[in-house]
């Protein structure tokens, strides 16, 4: 999805060029703009020709040149309608070069100055993508994940019926998985350090706030482990019952069952009706 939706918006931006290509005198050869001095070559070009050259550079994946051309368009023709589109395309070029900070800065200015632009939904979406691409692995600080989540949710709230919103929802699921993974990493650390109350808090947060992630079965198992180590057998059994009810085929449930019923055969953990309670009974 990194390429698909951005390129759809890019194709929409190409449409006006059909009308202007023949009138600008632009010959379609991007390289001619850079044969001598790039700055001099970009001067004395019509905004339509510059925009068309920038689009060609994007199509040919010359993202640095594309950004240079769009910046020149803004600088040389600041009051042209093409300059507004050039801001958005410049941000796209930065995004494709992994220059996310620069892309976000350009998009923030675009959104502030042109809130009613026809491509404002795409601007918000591209800003969210620029944050999303910076999500770190679950071992590291997840501030970038939280920022990406907020930006993706903003796209969903503002433009709920668009393709951008549909893709944002999918990416939010992965972002939640990252946040849940961070909670699990911290919880395991606390558990190893015998800071059990702190570990319980982290695991419970995964169960309560990230129920759609794949970390929930392990979180329930870790809670079962801790409750047993504290002598809270009833709490352990109740937690394992929730694990068995919701994830009966999970290896984590088999491990919890083995802890609660020493000597039982592993196949016994799959028997229906064993250690089962409703989800809400755990807390």
Q: pLDDT tens-digit profile of 191-248?
A: 999 999 999 999 999 999 999 899 999 999 999 999 999 999 999 999 999 999 999 8
Instruction: Answer yes or no: is pLDDT of 8 > 90.
Output: no
The residue ranking higher by pLDDT, 30 or 106, is 106
Region 48-55 average pLDDT: 91
Distance between CA atoms of residues 205 and 88, nearest Å: 39
Interatomic CA distance for residues 191 and 61, integer angstroms: 49
Give CA–CA dist 28/171, Å, rounded: 37
| Six token digits for residue 116 | 């009613």
For the stretch 52-63, pLDDT in tens is 999 999 999 999
Query: Among all chains, which residue has been given the structure tokens 């198992």?
Result: 221
Reduced to 3 states, what is the DSSP secondary structure of residue 2?
Answer: coil
Give the pLDDT score at 23.
Answer: 37
Mapping DSSP to helix (H, G, I), strand (E, B) and coil, where does residue 122 land?
A: helix
Classify the C-alpha dihedral 83-87-93-99 as positive or negative. positive
**% of the chain residues with pLDDT over 70:** 75
Q: The whole model's pTM is what?
A: 0.69
Note the pLDDT of residue 145: 83
From 20, 96, 8, 92, select the one nearest 51 (Cα to Cα): 20
Which has the closest alpha carbon to 89: 68, 64, 113, 70?
Answer: 70
Q: What mean pLDDT is predicted for residues 179-183? A: 90
* Residues 102 and 94: beta-carbon distance below 8 Å: yes
Q: Alpha carbon 117 to chain centroid distance?
A: 24
Mean pLDDT of 102-119: 94
* Range 21-29 average pLDDT: 40
């Amino acid at each position: 999805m990194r390429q698909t939706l951005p390129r759809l918006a890019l194709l929409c931006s190409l449409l006006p060029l059909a009308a202007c290509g023949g009138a600008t005198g632009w010959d379609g050869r991007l390289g001619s703009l850079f044969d001598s001095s790039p700055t001099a070559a970009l001067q004395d070009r019509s905004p339509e020709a510059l925009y068309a050259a920038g689009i060609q550079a994007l199509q040919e994946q010359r993202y640095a040149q594309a950004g240079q051309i769009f910046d020149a368009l803004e600088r040389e023709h600041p009051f042209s309608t093409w300059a507004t589109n050039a801001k958005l395309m410049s941000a796209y070029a930065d995004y494709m070069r992994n220059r996310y900070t620069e892309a976000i800065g350009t998009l923030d200015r675009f959104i502030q100055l042109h809130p009613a632009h026809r491509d404002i939904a795409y601007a918000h979406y591209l800003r969210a993508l620029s944050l999303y691409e910076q999500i770190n692995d679950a071992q590291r600080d997840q501030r970038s994940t939280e920022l990406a989540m907020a930006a993706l949710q903003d796209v969903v709230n503002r433009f709920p019926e668009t393709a951008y919103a549909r893709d944002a929802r999918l990416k939010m699921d992965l972002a939640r998985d990252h946040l849940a993974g961070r909670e699990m990493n911290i919880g395991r650390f606390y558990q190893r350090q015998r800071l059990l109350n702190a570990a319980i808090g982290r695991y419970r947060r995964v169960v309560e706030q990230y129920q759609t992630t794949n970390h929930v079965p392990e979180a329930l198992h870790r809670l079962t482990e801790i409750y047993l180590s504290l002598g809270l057998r009833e709490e352990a059994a109740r937690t394992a019952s929730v694990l068995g009810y919701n994830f009966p085929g999970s290896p984590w449930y088999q491990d919890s069952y083995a802890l609660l019923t020493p000597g039982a055969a592993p196949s016994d953990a799959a028997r229906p009706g064993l250690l089962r309670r409703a989800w809400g009974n755990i807390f």
